[in-house]
Amino acid sequence: MTHEPLTVALVGCGRMGAFTSEGTRTSVPPCWLPLSHAEAVEAVDGLSLVALAEVDATRRNDAGERFGVPSQARYADAAEMLAAVRPDIAAIATRSDVRAATVEAALAAGVRGIHAEKPFAPRLGDTERLLSRMERDGVAFTFGTVRRFMPAYRRARELLADGAIGTLREVAVDFGAGQLLLWTLPHAVDLLLGYGGSSPESVCGRVDIPDGAVSGETIDADPAVRFARVRFADGVEGAITAAGGMDVRLSGTAGTIRVLSDGAALELARPSAPGGAYLDRVERVPVAQAPSGTQAAFMGLRDAIRGTGPMPMPHGDVVLGQRILGAIVVSSLDGGRETPLAAVPSGLTITGRYRGNVA
Ligand SMILES: NC(=O)c1ccc[n+]([C@@H]2O[C@H](COP(=O)([O-])OP(=O)(O)OC[C@H]3O[C@@H](n4cnc5c(N)ncnc54)[C@H](O)[C@@H]3O)[C@@H](O)[C@H]2O)c1
Q: What is the CATH number of the domain that holds 159?
A: 3.30.360.10
**222 in contact with ligand 1, CB cutoff 6 A:** no
Give 278 Cα–ligand 1 centroid separation in angstroms.
45
Beta-strand relationship, 74-75 and 265-270: unpaired
71 and 206 in a single domain? The answer is no
pLDDT digits (tens), the chain, 359 positions: 678 999 999 999 999 999 999 999 999 999 999 999 999 999 999 999 999 999 999 999 999 999 999 999 999 999 999 999 999 999 999 999 999 999 999 999 999 999 999 999 999 999 999 999 999 999 999 999 999 999 999 999 999 999 999 999 999 999 999 999 999 999 999 999 999 987 999 999 999 999 999 999 999 999 999 999 999 999 999 999 999 999 999 999 999 999 999 999 999 999 999 889 999 999 999 999 999 999 999 999 999 999 999 999 999 999 999 999 999 999 999 999 999 999 999 999 999 999 999 99
The CATH number of residue 81's host domain is 3.40.50.720
The verdict on residue 302 lying in a domain is no
Beta-strand relationship, 214-215 and 281-285: unpaired
Give 274 Cα–ligand 1 centroid separation in angstroms.
50
Cβ atoms of residues 156 and 266 within 8 Å: yes
104 and 159 in a single domain? The answer is no
113 and 172 in a single domain? The answer is no
195 and 100 in a single domain? The answer is no
Query: Dihedral, CA atoms, 126, 300, 245, 157, nearest 10 degrees?
Result: 110
Mutate to test the pocket of ligand 1, among 27, 52, 117 (most ligand atoms within 8 A of CB): 117
Number of independent structural domains in the chain? 2
Which residues make Cβ contacts (< 8 Å) with residue 68, sequence separation at least 6?
49
Nearest to 186 by CA among 317, 4, 339: 317
**93 in contact with ligand 1, CB cutoff 6 A:** yes
Bridge partner residues of 213 (DSSP): none
216 and 341 in a single domain? The answer is yes
Mutate to test the pocket of ligand 1, among 74, 95, 180 (most ligand atoms within 8 A of CB): 95
CB atoms within 10 A of CB 52: 30
Give 143 Cα–ligand 1 centroid separation in angstroms.
13
Nearest to 173 by CA among 259, 268, 283, 289: 259
Cβ atoms of residues 202 and 338 within 8 Å: yes
Nearest to 30 by CA among 298, 285, 262: 262
Domain extent for 182:
148-289+319-350
153 and 268 in a single domain? The answer is yes
Helix (H, G, I), strand (E, B) or coil at 258: strand
200 and 269 in a single domain? The answer is yes
